[in-house]
Amino acid sequence: MKDRISALVFIALGIFFLIGALRMPRTTEYGKYGAPGIVPAFFSIMVVLLCFIMLVRKQRSNSESSSTPAEVKRAENRRLLLASAMFLAYVFLLGKINFIVLTSVFLSVTSMVFLRKRFILTVTISVAVTVGIYYLFSRVFLLPLP
């Protein structure tokens, strides 16, 4: 039952992101294959398809699912909800806050919440990855980021 609920939630989330990706510009100087919505649309479609498979597959046996303690299941559900809320907040803030600032904070917070590594190292890596992504898209691929 919980697999079905998770699948439905992520199907809805995938459709939400797909609609957002389809609303992005469809043509650039490089033609339709340089459009910024292609990759998000592809990943959204993949999420929807994989969750659909999860929705229709046979459920595991009860003995396998009952072997996991209830407290572990609750902790995993909380982590899933927290991750979903963090990703939604990131998507909603993407056009409103500078890309480098928002993505650096997002990567740092996500890493600290789920990996619990050293703060300085996490922030340094997050900023470096964000600047690298920004440089790659804006200077190499000539695709503007929000």
Hey, where are the domains in the chain?
2-63, 68-140
Tell me, rounded to whole angstroms, the distance of Cα 84 from its chain centroid. 8
pLDDT of residue 28: 67
Helices (H), the chain: 2-22, 38-56, 62-66, 70-93, 99-114, 119-135
Helical H runs in 95-142?
Answer: 99-114, 119-135
**According to the model, what pLDDT value does residue 132 have?**
93
Q: What is the pLDDT of residue 34?
A: 65
Q: Per-block average pLDDT, block size 10, for the chain (146 residues)? A: 81 90 75 71 90 78 60 84 90 88 93 86 93 88 75
* Per-residue pLDDT, 129: 94
Please list, in sequence order, all residues whose beta carbon lies within 8 angstroms of the beta carbon of residue 91, skipping any fewer than 6 positions away: 17, 20
